[in-house]
Amino acid sequence: MNYTHEGIEFRVQGVAKTRWAMVSRMKLAVAALMAITLAASPFSHPACFMMMPGGSDSLIKNGMEREGEPQVAGELPVEGEEKSETIPLPGNIPLEMIWIPGGTFQMGRYPGEQESHDKEEPQHAVTVGGFWLAKYEVTKAQWTAVMETTPWSGHMHVLDHPDSPAVQVSWNDAQAFIAALNTHTGQRFRLPSEAEWEYACRAGTTSRFYWGDDPSCTVGNAYCWWSNNAFDVGNRYAHAAGLKIPNAFGLFDMSGNVLEWCEDDWHSNYTGAPANGIAWVDSPRGVRRVARGGGWHNSGIGCRSAYRYESPPSLRDINMGFRLCR
């Protein structure tokens, strides 16, 4: 699949390829263009090129650093390093999983984060072990293959497309799907913990979104389905998976499209939260669960990497879905 954003074409083929992986290609292209230009120019002396501040790197920087460029903590994965697997579901429907390498990150809003909330604090260090996470939200085709039901049927604002997210599924429904999937595959799928979800969403970034701070919420139109390019323009439904630019881990729609259930019970802030990335579960279980990511009806505030939602585990809605973890 090809994506074009601000004049830059992105190709996603099997494992996602991100903007950062394209920099080396752009440098080669700029160098070749510069060589051709210098050869044809009456000022074709190497000094002419060297006088440009930063040489080709300055052209790359000026072309890539736009409003909302992500702030990165640590190294991002580069093209060819991602590890993925495809698991066949009944009817040979594929389930694509991406390996998320473990690491330590700062969970929650950063000090002074625009349009943030106190339920996203205190920001705290969490160390997460490596895990598998689905490349896309669970789709209608995947749900139907496993459960042989269509809980979204008859509801308004639902796209009739097999690759769009399965909606009208509660946290309890997601657990039933996972139990059936584990029986079919012999593996141990589950919902991600809230910490795993945020770690995977950020993909090494520390900004409001995985594409940058984006204070005017305009850059994000290329990365997610949210109110700006869905609800507000009459496209009031969850769109087919994989149509936007993925994050640096190769995950699609971590922000927007549909909210995603996490395993955790709801807590009003992070005081006392685990520091090892496991799900924060009460005994007995709490009456509400965590959901993340925002959906097609949410503004940028609710699609930030740190934003947290709470809902009863029985809630079914046209903007609620989930993503598998293992």
Domain ranges of the chain: 2-64, 84-321
Closest alpha carbon to 322 in 87, 128, 134, 50: 134
Structural contact between residues 313 and 171, judged by C-beta atoms closer than 8 angstroms: yes
Q: pLDDT (tens digit, 9 = 90+) per residue, 124-156?
A: 999 999 999 999 999 999 999 999 999 999 999
Query: Does 122 sit behind a cis peptide bond, omega within 30 degrees of 0 on the bond before it?
Result: yes
Q: pLDDT (tens digit, 9 = 90+) per residue, 76-120?
A: 554 446 799 999 999 999 999 999 999 999 999 999 999 999 999
DSSP letter (8 states) at residue 310: E
pLDDT tier at 157, thresholds 50, 70, 90? very high
Predicted TM-score (pTM) of this structure: 0.79
pLDDT at position 82 is: 74
Q: How far is CA 96 from CA 17, 22, 131, 250, in A?
A: 15, 23, 14, 11
First to last CA, the chain: 26
Residue-averaged pLDDT of the chain: 83
Task: Spell out the long-range contacts of 151-158 with Cβ–Cβ below 8 A and sequence spacing 24 or more.
Answer: 151/316, 152/318, 155/318, 156/318, 157/236, 157/237, 157/318, 158/237, 158/238, 158/318
Q: Structure tokens of 62?
A: 């000026």
pLDDT tier at 71, thresholds 50, 70, 90? low
Q: pLDDT (tens digit, 9 = 90+) per residue, 228-264?
A: 999 999 999 999 999 999 999 999 999 999 999 999 9
**E strands within 56-152?**
84-89, 93-100, 103-107, 124-128, 131-134
Distance of alpha carbon 226 from alpha carbon 255, whole angstroms: 8
Among the ranges given (32-36, 126-130, 170-174, 292-296), the one the predictor scored with the smallest mean pLDDT? 32-36
CATH number of 84-321: 3.90.1580.10
DSSP letter (8 states) at residue 311: E
Structural contact between residues 196 and 134, judged by C-beta atoms closer than 8 angstroms: no
Return the higher-pLDDT residue of 67 and 194. Answer: 194
Residue type, 271: T
281: pLDDT strictly greater than 50:
yes
Where helices occur in 41-135 by DSSP H, the ranges are: 46-50, 55-64
